């Protein structure tokens, strides 16, 4: 059997693939955080809860309304995104003029409320969501076995990330977003409804988290705490990539997933901490993050 540094190729590639899948989730979530932070300057601690709500919406939609996976892929982000817009409109907007720390506290509180309420109803053990029929099975690539669903997650996450990057960097709406991030008052003086832009941006960032939640539902147990477990790592990813950088969030997300996967192969004990080690290193050497601009 072919070996790579003393590890069978299949094992090596398998872990790399797992790392890449995790990385895709990191990328989707940190992308949403970066988009939200850019315009609202709020560190959205409710992001994990929104991811979890996306997964729950998928699960409950199937159980109670008979909504299938593909419909959920569209509907769950819409529903959770709408919830996000309501949260922005009713809560976040009221504290927009205060120190950004209040936004962090408020969203953290919201996350606890969402989590706690769902724990009350469903418990913490979590439920399984079946892999959609069309994506069952896998491909034998010769050097490794690739489950179809995982390949799909990777492709879907990358397409959404690139699409988001394209919209923000290459379109007029994106130019509004970037300009609004820099100088919201002047954007208003040009006739752009900035408060509305902020609501839509928050809704969109949250919808990205919910989309990740739908993708995650067939992979991981759907439980009220699934978001908070992931969010800590995602914040480390955001710190490494640099707050507010779109492409940085995506690349760092994927990269950190890979590093995690590689660590699992060679030194499994450190797999859960390696991202935080990288974070410490980056903070020491480049405090603004790999892709962040020095203030």
Partner 1 sequence: MNQLAEQTGVTHYRDHDGAEMLRVSDLHAFYGESHILHGVDFEVRRGELVTLLGRNGAGRSTTLKSIMNMVGRRTGSIMINGNETLDVKPHRIPRLGVGYCPEERGIFASLDVEENLLLPPTVRSGGMSIDDIYAMFPNLYERRRSQGTRLSGGEQQMLAMARILRTGARLLLLDEITEGLAPVIVQALGEVLVKLKERGMTIVLVEQNFRFAAPLADRHYVMEHGRIIEEISAAELPSRREHLHSLLGV
Q: Are 248 and 23 in contact (CB under 8 A)?
A: no
How does DSSP classify residue 8? Answer: E
Q: Which of 92, 197, 259, 271 binds partner 1 (CB under 8 A)?
A: 197
Contact status: 41 vs partner 1 (CB under 8 A): no
Q: Per rule CB under 8 A, is residue 52 in the interface with partner 1?
A: no
The whole-angstrom separation of Cα 216 and Cα 55 is: 7
CB of 167 vs partner 1, minimal distance in Å: 9
Binding mask 84-123 for partner 1 (x = CB under 8 A): ----------------------------------------
Residues ≥6 apart with Cβ < 8 Å to 203: 81, 82, 84, 85, 88
Task: For residue 191, state whether it binds partner 1 (rule: CB under 8 A).
Answer: yes
Report the nearest approach of partner 1 to the CB of residue 172 (Å).
Answer: 7
Structure tokens at 75: 């509907």
222 Cβ contact partners less than 8 Å away, ≥ 6 residues apart? 55, 56, 58, 59, 126, 127, 128, 129, 216
Q: How far is the CB of 192 from partner 1 (least distance, A)?
A: 6
272 is a contact residue toward partner 1 (CB under 8 A): no
Residue in 194, 212, 240, 250 binding partner 1, rule: CB under 8 A? 194
20 vs 216: CA distance, rounded Å: 14
Indicate the residue among 197 and 240 with the shorter CB distance to partner 1: 197
Binding mask 161-180 for partner 1 (x = CB under 8 A): -----------xx-xx-xx-
- Is 182 a binding residue for partner 1 by CB under 8 A? The answer is yes
Q: What length is written for the chain?
A: 295
Residue number, 64 or 97, with CB nearest to partner 1: 97
Q: What CA–CA distances, in Å, run from 201 to 177, 198, 208, 219?
A: 8, 5, 11, 28
Instruction: In angstroms, give the least distance from the CB of 186 to partner 1.
Output: 4
The yes or no reply on residue 4 touching partner 1 (CB under 8 A) is no
Closer residue to partner 1, CB minimum distance, 145 or 166? 166
- CB 243, min distance to partner 1, A: 14
Radius of gyration over alpha carbons of the chain, in Å?
19
183 makes contact with partner 1 (CB under 8 A): yes
Residues that bind partner 1 (CB under 8 A): 172-173, 175-176, 178-179, 181-183, 185-186, 188-194, 196-197, 200
């Amino acid at each position: 059997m072919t070996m790579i540094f003393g590890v069978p190729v299949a094992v090596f590639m398998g872990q790399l693939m797992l790392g890449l899948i995790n990385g895709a989730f990191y990328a989707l979530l940190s992308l949403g955080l970066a988009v939200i932070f850019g315009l609202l300057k709020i560190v959205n601690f409710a992001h994990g809860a929104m991811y979890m709500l996306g997964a729950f919406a998928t699960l409950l939609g199937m159980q109670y309304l008979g909504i299938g996976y593909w419909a959920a892929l569209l509907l769950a982000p819409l529903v959770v995104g709408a919830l996000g817009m309501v949260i922005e409109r009713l809560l976040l907007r009221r504290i927009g003029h205060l120190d950004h720390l209040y936004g962090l506290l408020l969203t953290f509180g919201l996350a606890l409320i969402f989590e706690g309420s769902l724990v009350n109803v469903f418990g913490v053990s979590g439920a399984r969501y079946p892999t959609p029929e069309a994506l069952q099975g896998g491909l034998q690539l010769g050097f490794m076995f690739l489950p179809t669903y995982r390949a799909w997650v990777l492709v879907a996450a990358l397409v959404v990330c690139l699409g988001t990057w394209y919209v923000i960097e290459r379109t007029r709406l994106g130019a509004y977003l970037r300009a609004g991030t820099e100088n919201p008052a002047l954007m208003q003086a040009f006739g752009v409804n900035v408060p509305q832009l902020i609501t839509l941006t928050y809704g969109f960032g949250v919808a990205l988290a919910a989309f990740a939640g739908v993708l995650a539902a067939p992979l991981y147990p759907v439980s009220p705490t699934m978001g908070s477990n992931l969010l800590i790592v995602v914040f480390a990813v955001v710190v490494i990539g640099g707050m507010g950088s779109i492409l940085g969030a995506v690349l760092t997300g994927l990269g950190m997933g890979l590093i995690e996967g590689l660590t699992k192969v060679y030194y499994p004990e450190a797999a859960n901490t390696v991202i935080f080690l990288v974070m410490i290193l980056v903070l020491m050497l480049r405090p603004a993050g790999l892709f962040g601009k020095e203030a």
